[in-house]
Amino acid sequence: MTVMETTRLLGFLEERSQVDWLRALDELGPTIHPVDRDATRIWFAFWPLELRDALAGSPDPKEPMKIARLMDLEGNWRLEEQIDSAVSFLYGAHFWTRVKNSVLGEADATSGSLAPTIRSIAQKVGAAERIDPSLVLGIAAVGLMLFRQVGFERLERSKDTSAAPPLLPRDPAKVLAGRDRKSSDGLFTFLKGVNRKWDVRWEEKRTDGVFRAINGQDIAMAGGDTGSDYRHLDYRRPAGPVPVECRVGSCGYCWVGLLAGRENLTSMTSFERERLRYFGYDTVNAPDDANPLIRLACQAQCQGDVTLTISPWNGELERRHDQGRKKLGTA
């Protein structure tokens, strides 16, 4: 790819807003394989353009942390440091090296809209890997958005590396069966009634990535009951595998994406919906969906088994960004 072609592809992508990307996902959604259909939208919620634009627009280059502080960002919000780990919860991560290379070589495939460009990458990767392109359609969209956010040089530097292990099973049917697996309380499950316990798979790639929730218990509280400290994975996890601070919907630490079983959580309240909007986490949630993809773990109570994935960062994306820019005199 020549520098001019690279600029052309990036220029094409830079003209697309977050809304354009979400429209493309809506258009492609039915043709993305079920194993990655929700995972793809969750990735776009975890890595919205607004986050990248807020950080790139930091008014004081000598103090890049200033805008991060104003947005109360915690965890690791730098996508450029996580090119190969931020995609690992997608099934398509098996083909990540090929996807990156295909994105880097795709300058001439821009056709005026996003969906055909994404489809073109998926078809090329599918043909090269001899797989159904639907299996890589989601990660092709992720690859293009990641290119848009980290730029050519960073993606080029990582072009030979694979997605960070562990990855999901290679057989997509096995992944879907794992998400469908029903928990059991043993021989007397049928006698437990409201005292039943459910499986919360917080990291489906790990054999120990599951904890139990009492019927009606919220995800964050149930994770805390494990009595384990997960700060070796992420300093925001002092009590269980889910990041928490307030446990009452105030801090925004505990946002998660539901890969399966979202209908097994209590319906979202207007309070939780408002909090998600305040933090700017609600970009992929349908406005009236009572059981959307993105939830606050401290507000969602278990009434069945769920499989989730955890965002590596939290913060106040919308409001604090605006306030911060006003404070810094750049709004």
Beta carbon nearer to ligand FES, 79 or 298: 298
Q: Which of 257, 253, 225 is nearest to 239 (CA)?
A: 225
Asked if 245 interacts with ligand FES (CB under 6 A), we say yes
How far is the C-alpha of 260 from the C-alpha of 293, rounded, in Å? Answer: 9
Is the distance from CB of 81 to CB of 318 less than 8 angstroms? no
Applying CB under 6 A, among 284, 298, 308, 310 the residue interacting with ligand FES is 298
The three-state secondary structure class of 130 is: coil
Beta carbon nearer to ligand FES, 99 or 213: 213
Beta carbon nearer to ligand FES, 246 or 331: 246
Asked if 296 interacts with ligand FES (CB under 6 A), we say yes
β-pairing verdict for 313-314 and 74-75: antiparallel
Is the distance from CB of 117 to CB of 145 less than 8 angstroms? no
> Which range of residues in 1-9, 30-38, 144-152, 238-246 is near ligand FES by CB under 6 A?
238-246
Asked if 247 interacts with ligand FES (CB under 6 A), we say yes
Asked if 225 interacts with ligand FES (CB under 6 A), we say no
Beta carbon nearer to ligand FES, 121 or 251: 251
Applying CB under 6 A, among 9, 73, 93, 251 the residue interacting with ligand FES is 251
The three-state secondary structure class of 199 is: strand
The three-state secondary structure class of 210 is: strand
Is the distance from CB of 50 to CB of 280 less than 8 angstroms? yes
Show the binding pattern over residues 253-292: x = contacts ligand FES (CB under 6 A), - = does not: xx--------------------------------------
Q: Which residues contact 202 (CB under 8 A, 6 or more apart)?
A: 209, 210, 211, 223, 241, 242, 256, 308, 309, 310
Asked if 244 interacts with ligand FES (CB under 6 A), we say yes
Number of residues near ligand FES (by CB under 6 A): 13
Beta carbon nearer to ligand FES, 128 or 246: 246
Beta carbon nearer to ligand FES, 9 or 296: 296
Is the distance from CB of 265 to CB of 300 less than 8 angstroms? yes
**Element at 177 (helix H, strand E):** helix 172-180
How far is the C-alpha of 312 from the C-alpha of 253, rounded, in Å? Answer: 10
Applying CB under 6 A, among 92, 224, 241, 249 the residue interacting with ligand FES is 249
Show the binding pattern over residues 201-220: x = contacts ligand FES (CB under 6 A), - = does not: -------------------x
Binding site for ligand FES (CB under 6 A): 220, 244-247, 249-254, 296, 298
